[in-house]
Amino acid sequence: MSRVIVRTGAVLAVAFLAGCGSQTADGQSSPDSASTPTSARTPRHVDQSDRPPVSFDPCLDLPDDTLVAAGYDPTSETNADFTPDSYTFLGCSYDTQQRLYGLNILSGNIAFAEEREKTKGYSTPTEINGRPALLKWETNKPNACALSIETPYGVLILDRSVFQGHGVDAPEAEWCAGLEETARTFEPFIPKGD
């Protein structure tokens, strides 16, 4: 079972939606003009704060073939927006085909420095394709791992749960296994600057 879970986070060689992206030499998807978000599109939600608008919407800007390549089922998409007046998180949730993982992708306009301060007791600095990031997990919260990536407008959070089944926790080594690889697959679609 653990071998299956680790493989789920690995990039699969699947590309069935031509025009949504292209494969680079290392097998990762890269955005093209059809999938790159533009600043001309009005975000689905704009809060009442002076924070920047969220310019990357995971529900609209991640192509289905990229989700499939990361092991997630695009047809399982459910809305995960969190939109109070003081900040915005646009989000979608996805499951793997075998329902071993559930992933929330949240794109928000809180500053990366705020995220770093909030999680300093349980996060580890890392880097995703050159962007500062934080790998977040806590031993008292089994089967869960998250990764926050700095963006020009704030932060992108990948928050994943492992479904071991039968009320048994997955081994701790599996909580974050493959999450950084998933983030590297999604990162090329995040805008580089405003």
103 in Cβ contact with 158 (< 8 Å): yes
Higher pLDDT, 33 or 165: 165
> Residue 103's pLDDT is what?
97
Per-residue CA distances from 182 to 106, 121, 167 (Å): 14, 24, 26
| Cβ neighbours of 49 (radius 10 Å) | 13
State the total domains in the chain: 1
> Residue 28's pLDDT is what?
41
> Residue 166's pLDDT is what?
76
Does 180 map to a domain? yes
113 in Cβ contact with 150 (< 8 Å): no
Residues 14-47 have pLDDT tens digits of 222 223 333 343 344 444 434 444 445 777 878 8
Question: Residue 102: is its pLDDT beyond 80?
Answer: yes
Show the domain range for 180.
2-189
Residues 116-144 have pLDDT tens digits of 999 999 999 999 999 999 999 998 999 99
Q: What is the pTM of this model?
A: 0.77
Does 194 map to a domain? no
Percentage, residues of the chain above pLDDT 90: 65
Minimal CA–CA distance to 22: which of 11, 7, 33, 12? 33
> Residue 164's pLDDT is what?
72
